[in-house]
Chains A and B, each alone.
Chain A
Amino acid sequence: MKPAVAIIGGGIAGMEAARQLLLLGYTPIMIEKSDHLGGHVGEWHCLFPDMSPAADLVENLKNGIKGATVFLETGIAFINRIRDTYNVMLDNGISIPCQAVLFATGYELFDAAKKEEYGYGIYNHVVTNRDLELWFGGREDARFPAKPSTIGFVHCVGSRDIKAGNMQCSKVCCMTAIKQAIEMKEKFPKAEIYCFYMDLRLFGKKYEDFYIKAQRDHGIHFIRGRVSEVGENYDGTLQIKAEDTLNGKPLKLNLDLLVLMAGMVCGKDNAKLTAGLRMGLDTDGFLRSRDNIYGVTDSNRRGVFFAGACTGTKTIPETISEARAAVLGIHNYLMK
């Protein structure tokens, strides 16, 4: 019997890890809480920097894990260690004995309704980055006006925000906002589009190209100031308030549509999932790596590994790389 590896989470990290484990001849057993594979990426329409369809990535990954055992709509009751092996007890009563465990549990998207001052769920024309991607993908959504003439994007919603309990920078939202702003401009060429940012963090490959393209080719306006509150006008449009910090004056603006860039936050089940292994969480609530430089995909327990956004905010290429790194770690561990 080939050694079995339990993979918790059926997003891109879990699927890439399962694919690599199959190639190495191991037996991956994937446990996914929702009714489908693909995680958050499966809800996205196009991916930066090459505007490739997210569905293609998910489809390729799915094709790569044919032969793996997958439990859908299944949660974890507990995980415990029995001598040199692990026992993953599922909430359907099935027990999975395995030689290694890989956490690929990812992140949760911040619930934008918690920032009540932005009016998500209160005003009709306030949506999130996720809503926008689903709408790009063809989902009907009455909150989107037929022909918006002004559209605003608010960066850092629920991230870099001590009141929301999330100190971390969500990292990909700056780039996502610019990508989505360009896509909206292409759909509505006459619309004026405004991005409200605190700092623009465009660190990745070709990200800065997008920024220049947004400025030069699409005339997207960048205002340095965090939106403090949103109100609804009599006619149903929105009015936002921010300080234009570079001009040093308060600013207000009427909008037909407001997009909130909800950030990545740590999984709410992290503490419960790791309780039986007594691994502890990192100070930001994400799973705690053995070392945040040299051992990101290792836990402080032998035979337990991490991949992707369960240990912190990650881009898709970082997540894929970590899935492969974690599989190499598992392979080295099982060869001993």
Chain B
Amino acid sequence: MDFGFVLNPSSTVDLGKVDTTLYDRLARRCPDVKTCMACGSCSATCSAAQYSGMSVRKVLLGLQRGNDVSAMLSNCMLCGKCTMVCPRGINTRNLILTLCRIHDGEGSK
């Protein structure tokens, strides 16, 4: 039956049901990710950001909100500029590297 309209899936994040397994696993290996205050310095200085949409800040937030961040990760060139500007001293380069390793299955071992 065609009523002439469709229902869009809800864009609400049901925070109680978000699967944060990946984030929790990352936080165990890189505990400093928990100190991010979302200032965006990493994304502002990222040499891949303006063409690829890469953003360390968005990766960290996405992992905690159930977004798929794997496409973003593949754009990181591991140059490490983000690590230099982080005011909380988070080793962001290592964070991305660790996340890639977890994605590749190494983290489950």
Contacts and interface: CB of A to CB of B under 8 A. Distances in A.
Interface of A: 117, 156, 160-164, 198-199, 224-229, 241-245, 248, 250-251
Given A227-B44, A245-B57, A250 B50 contact: yes
B46 A162 contact: no
Nearest to A156: B87
Interface stretch (B22-30, B33-41, B97-105): B33-41
Interface of B: 37-46, 49-50, 55, 57-58, 85-89
Given A225-B39, A228-B44, A250-B43, A243 B87 contact: no
A250 B44 contact: yes
Contacts of B40: 224-226, 228, 242-245
Kindly name the residue among A199, A225, A243 whose own CB sees the greatest number of chain B CB atoms within 10 A.
Answer: A243
Nearest to A162: B89
Nearest to B89: A162
Question: 5 tightest A-B contacts by CB?
Answer: A243-B40, A226-B39, A228-B44, A228-B45, A243-B43
Kindly name the residue among A117, A164, A199, A226 whose own CB sees the greatest number of chain B CB atoms within 10 A.
Answer: A226
B39 A245 contact: yes
Contact of A198 (B39, B42, B86): B39
Contacts of A225: 39-41, 44
Contact of A226 (B46, B58, B87): B87
B37 A241 contact: no
A303 to B, nearest CB: 40
Contacts of A226: 39-41, 44, 87
Given A226-B44, A245-B57, A250 B87 contact: no
B44 A163 contact: no
A114 to B, nearest CB: 13
Contacts of B38: 198, 245
21 contacts: A117-B85, A162-B89, A163-B86, A163-B87, A198-B37, A199-B37, A225-B41, A226-B41, A227-B41, A241-B44, A243-B40, A243-B42, A243-B43, A243-B55, A243-B57, A245-B39, A245-B43, A248-B55, A248-B58, A250-B43, A250-B46
A199 B89 CA distance: 18
Given A164-B87, A228-B40, 8 more contacts: A156-B87, A162-B89, A225-B40, A228-B41, A228-B42, A243-B41, A250-B43, A250-B50
Nearest to B32: A162
Nearest to B90: A162
Nearest to A226: B39
Nearest to A117: B85
A110 B32 CA distance: 25
B88 A162 contact: yes
A156 B87 CA distance: 10
A227 B88 CA distance: 14
Contacts of B42: 228, 243
Contacts of B89: 162-163
Nearest to A251: B44
Kindly name the residue among B40, B41, B46 whose own CB sees the greatest number of chain A CB atoms within 10 A.
Answer: B40
Given A198-B39, A243-B55, A245-B39, A229 B45 contact: yes
A242 B87 contact: no
A15 to B, nearest CB: 35
Given A245-B40, A248-B55, A229 B85 contact: yes
Nearest to B56: A243
Contacts of B87: 156, 160-164, 226
A329 B85 CA distance: 44
Contacts of A248: 55, 58
Contacts of A161: 87
A229 B42 CA distance: 11
Nearest to A243: B40
Contacts of A163: 86-87, 89
A161 B84 CA distance: 12
Contacts of A164: 87
Contacts of B41: 225-228, 242-243
